[in-house]
Amino acid sequence: MKRRDFMKCAAGFSAGLGAGIAFSPLPWQLLDDISVWTQNWPWIPANPKGENTYELSTSKLCPSGCGLKVRLLNGRVLRVLPQAGHPLGGGISPLAAAEPQLLYSPSRLTTPLRRNSEGSHSPISWPEAKTLLLGKLEAAGEKLLCLCGDESGSGSAVLSAFLRARGSEKIFFMPSEAQCQSLAWQHARYADSSLPYSSQAGYDFEKADLVLAIGANIMEAWGTVMRNRRIVAEKGAEKGFPLYYAGPVQNQTAALAAGAGGGWLPIRAGSETSLALGLANVLARTHGKKLAHPAFAQIEHGLARFDPAHVSAVTGLGPRRLEEMCEKLAQAAAPLVVCGSEFGQGAGCGPALSGLLLNLLLRGPLTAVPLHTAALPGARGRADIYRGDIVRELTGWGGRPAADLAIFYEANPAYALPGAAALADKIRAIPFKLAFAPFMDETAALCDLVLPTPLGLEKLDDIESPLGCGKVFYALARPLAEAPGQCRHGADVILELAAALDMGLPANYEAVLRKKAQDMSLSWISLSRGQSFERPAPELEAADCDLSVFDKLLFRSLRAARGASSNGRRAGLAPLCRNALGTPQTGIPPFALKTLRAKELKGGEMYVFANSATARALGLYQDARVSVRAAGGNGNAVRNTGGNTGRAITARFNIFEGIADDCLGAYLGFGHSALDEYSRGKGANICELFSPEPEEGSGLMTWHKTEVTVEVVA
């Protein structure tokens, strides 16, 4: 071959090869494979494979009791989706949707832990824990105290039966709006009423054609939120729905009210009851909304001082807007008023009673929802347990604790009680403390024995008629995931201890729930497949109520109102709740952390907020670092809470115009000193600022009128 031919062949071959490569899929496929390979490093998690199944349940974690459709992959819980057709559902709350990550959190407690002399906790076995506990129970005798964080389940009945068999009546729930509502209802229920003693007021949103929420953040954090939102969305699908919100902060309910065609009535923090009574006064005098009852004259006399001018001075709401609201309420066929605490606790009986009075005047769709108590010897019903007040109990102790052994059942009082640090000192002084907890929270960290418990998707438990529910509701939370390590349901552990002490209680918690379902004539098979039940509750009539309660309790509960303008650098604290900020026991779920906005949390600092007029009056400016200090209420603060008067938190300041004058807004749920990296060290715990005071009349401790001083710090 000549050189020229060789060159021609080589050129032809090269050109052919080039063309072949260019038109062949091979290089492109290789390039694609390489690019895929470069993005599949071993440290990048791979997608799992497997079979999908779906199960129904009801959320035990979310206070709204929303319905769940749980997706499982190879039998493992993967996702939580909304359950269509669930009576308390309609969507899913951020908290319920974020629950799977909590199940697998590396911070979960997996073994019993005993506190050693250095203050740290070491693992022990269950038999050791049980032996230790039996010994401590024997030694404590009747000096037992139990604080329960689960209001909607039957765990409280088991605990109360256990305590009563040991000679103690000291069982309490964590302070909540449900307690305020329940106590108000118990005071108002006429002694000879045909309605059951153990019942609660229900709010029948389905029948309402206008809803006024005073204080209660019914679209975010008060009661059956998912149901409330579904109903308002359905009713207002075409032309909106007349939803009104009265409260210090333009919160989620106010946002929905503005969008739905209603509106926001800004009032000062803690003035909800005055506004409700002002409305009742105008409705009775101007619109003829009266009760045909001899006791009503006394009520009218009590209402007389709540004329528009007085109410305007107390609430900051103009008399014209008050009267406009009355006109709308009077014209509606079935108006419903929900009056409660903006942050779901600490408001006493006043708001609930004033809401009851308004609903009676307007003949609003209120119901009396009967509550069922698990049939255990000595068990106390939910309504009965609400009569105890843990804040009054702890603050009433002198130098020595009145209990030798305390059980904290899914409750985190060291974080969530008002004046938390001061009351934590009281808890710390109890000789032996036991916590049933899924995470090492602030209270568990103080306890001598910590027993790991399952979360809502890992245990069999029940949910009965949560706060605000207008009908009788019952469902089971199902154990769809395996609890990590040696977690055991707290109620089962208590029943095991009861068996060891020959108390005659059922052998396990499932037997308690089965008996309760049987007593309620519900199918256990349907319940255990995730079906929920709803039954109508009787409507509430004025004849069922003891109208003298309004004079005896309600009008007395109102002390001298706060002045119309801020006193020097004082402001009324307006706390807010957000579902996404989790619970005191779990902290903020990892997924929910990203829902926080730039002016709510920045690094480790949270924001507090006020409007520009208040900021000017207080000498504050945007992004200033401020110290917020409890001003100690109006002088009647309980002194022996350990001195929370003077306690301070540090935060950044944000100007937000959606808040009433003289108020400082702040979110609850921040400032954990325990739990995981998604909750710990983020912001400050505003529970520290609360100053509990006894409510006149009911005696219930309240802290919704906390005042603070604010100053810029370096």
Partner 1 sequence: MSMIALKEFKIRWGMAIDVDKCTGCGACMVACQAENNIAPVSDASDKRRALNWLVVYELSNGKAFPDHDLAYLPRPCQQCGTYPCASVCPVTATDKNEEGGIVSQIHPRCIGCRYCMAACPYHARYFNWQDPVWPRGLEKTITPDVSVRPRGVVEKCSFCHHRFMWAKDLARLENREPGRLREGDYLPACAESCPSGAIVFGDLHNPTHRVHQLAGSERAFRLLERLGTEPQVYYLSRRAWVRRQGDNYLPDEKKPLP
Using CB under 8 A, pick the residue from 24, 101, 120, 131 that binds partner 1: 101
Q: Does 601 bind partner 1 (CB under 8 A)?
A: yes
* Cα 168 from Cα 162, distance rounded (Å): 9
Minimal distance, residue 85 CB to partner 1, in Å: 14
Pick the stretch among 90-98, 111-119, 463-471, 564-572 that binds partner 1 (CB under 8 A): 90-98
Cβ closest to partner 1, residue 481 vs residue 631: 481
* Cα 304 from Cα 386, distance rounded (Å): 32
Using CB under 8 A, pick the residue from 378, 538, 590, 643 that binds partner 1: 590
Cβ closest to partner 1, residue 603 vs residue 635: 603
Minimal distance, residue 235 CB to partner 1, in Å: 11
Encoded tokens for 218: 């019914």
Q: Does 598 bind partner 1 (CB under 8 A)?
A: yes
Encoded tokens for 1: 């071959």
Coil/strand/helix, residue 407: strand
Using CB under 8 A, pick the residue from 391, 593, 689, 710 that binds partner 1: 593
Encoded tokens for 153: 């389940």
Specify the DSSP class assigned to residue 191: T
Minimal distance, residue 264 CB to partner 1, in Å: 8
* Cα 74 from Cα 376, distance rounded (Å): 38
Cβ closest to partner 1, residue 213 vs residue 637: 213
Q: What are phi and psi of 693, to 5 degrees?
A: -135, 145
Cβ closest to partner 1, residue 376 vs residue 455: 455
Minimal distance, residue 261 CB to partner 1, in Å: 7
**Which helix (H) or strand (E) segment is 338 a member of?**
strand 335-339
Encoded tokens for 100: 């799977």
Using CB under 8 A, pick the residue from 42, 127, 288, 603 that binds partner 1: 603
Using CB under 8 A, pick the residue from 225, 553, 561, 638 that binds partner 1: 225
Minimal distance, residue 55 CB to partner 1, in Å: 16
Give me the residue label for tokens 């039954």.
Answer: 535
Taking residues 609 to 648 in sequence order and writing x for each that binds partner 1 by CB under 8 A, - otherwise, the string is: --xxx-----------------------------------
Are the CB atoms for 175 and 346 separated by under 8 Å?
Answer: yes
Coil/strand/helix, residue 320: helix
Minimal distance, residue 253 CB to partner 1, in Å: 7
Cβ closest to partner 1, residue 473 vs residue 609: 609
Residues from 673 through 692 that contact partner 1 (CB under 8 A): 677-678
Using CB under 8 A, pick the residue from 76, 114, 363, 535 that binds partner 1: 76
Buried/exposed code over 238-261 (b: 16+ C-beta within 10 A; e: otherwise): eeebbbbbbbbbbbbbbebbbebe
Cβ closest to partner 1, residue 142 vs residue 234: 234
Minimal distance, residue 92 CB to partner 1, in Å: 5
How far is residue 105 from each of residues 109, 110, 395, 444, 556, measured CA to CA in Å?
9, 11, 35, 17, 49
Minimal distance, residue 245 CB to partner 1, in Å: 11
Pick the stretch among 159-167, 197-205, 491-499, 574-582 that binds partner 1 (CB under 8 A): 574-582
Residues from 482 through 541 that contact partner 1 (CB under 8 A): none
Using CB under 8 A, pick the residue from 58, 105, 281, 654 that binds partner 1: 105
Cβ closest to partner 1, residue 266 vs residue 340: 266
Residues from 408 through 447 that contact partner 1 (CB under 8 A): none
Encoded tokens for 55: 């199960």
Residues from 13 through 52 that contact partner 1 (CB under 8 A): 32, 35-36, 39-41, 43-50
Cβ closest to partner 1, residue 6 vs residue 104: 104
Minimal distance, residue 70 CB to partner 1, in Å: 12
Residue type, 590: P
Q: Does 233 bind partner 1 (CB under 8 A)?
A: yes
Q: How many residues bind partner 1 (CB under 8 A)?
A: 84
Using CB under 8 A, pick the residue from 92, 161, 195, 710 that binds partner 1: 92
Minimal distance, residue 562 CB to partner 1, in Å: 17
Minimal distance, residue 94 CB to partner 1, in Å: 4
* Cα 408 from Cα 444, distance rounded (Å): 8
Minimal distance, residue 219 CB to partner 1, in Å: 5
Are the CB atoms for 684 and 608 separated by under 8 Å?
Answer: no
Cβ closest to partner 1, residue 431 vs residue 590: 590
Using CB under 8 A, pick the residue from 72, 73, 334, 624 that binds partner 1: 73
Q: Does 658 bind partner 1 (CB under 8 A)?
A: yes
* Cα 568 from Cα 222, distance rounded (Å): 33
Encoded tokens for 443: 């209270």
Q: Does 592 bind partner 1 (CB under 8 A)?
A: yes
Cβ closest to partner 1, residue 71 vs residue 392: 71
Coil/strand/helix, residue 540: coil
Residues from 180 through 199 that contact partner 1 (CB under 8 A): none
Give me the residue label for tokens 């706390």.
Answer: 575
3-state secondary structure 448-486: CEEEECCCHHHCCEEEECCCECCCEEEEEECCCCCCCCC
Cβ closest to partner 1, residue 4 vs residue 49: 49
Residues with Cβ within 8 Å of 302's Cβ and at least 6 positions away in sequence, in order, are: 550, 551, 554, 555
Q: Does 480 bind partner 1 (CB under 8 A)?
A: no
* Cα 481 from Cα 462, distance rounded (Å): 16
Using CB under 8 A, pick the residue from 161, 178, 180, 219 that binds partner 1: 219
Residues with Cβ within 8 Å of 71's Cβ and at least 6 positions away in sequence, in order, are: 52, 53, 54, 77, 78, 79, 80, 81
Specify the long-range contacts of residues 593-599, CB closer than 8 Å, at least 24 apart. Answer: 593/678, 595/94, 599/654, 599/656
557 CB burial (10 A radius; 0-12, 13-18, 19+): buried
Q: Does 88 bind partner 1 (CB under 8 A)?
A: no
* Cα 356 from Cα 255, distance rounded (Å): 25
Coil/strand/helix, residue 70: strand
Q: Does 93 bind partner 1 (CB under 8 A)?
A: yes
How far is residue 282 from each of residues 215, 305, 311, 551, measured CA to CA in Å?
19, 11, 11, 18
Minimal distance, residue 72 CB to partner 1, in Å: 11
Overall residue count recorded for the chain in this entry: 714
Are the CB atoms for 392 and 699 separated by under 8 Å?
Answer: yes
Minimal distance, residue 435 CB to partner 1, in Å: 22
* Cα 702 from Cα 568, distance rounded (Å): 24
Minimal distance, residue 687 CB to partner 1, in Å: 22
Minimal distance, residue 336 CB to partner 1, in Å: 18
Are the CB atoms for 95 and 62 separated by under 8 Å?
Answer: yes
Minimal distance, residue 338 CB to partner 1, in Å: 16
Residues from 234 through 293 that contact partner 1 (CB under 8 A): 234, 236-237, 240, 250, 252-256, 258-261, 266
Cβ closest to partner 1, residue 137 vs residue 576: 576
Give me the residue label for tokens 């975010």.
Answer: 220
Encoded tokens for 712: 């810029």
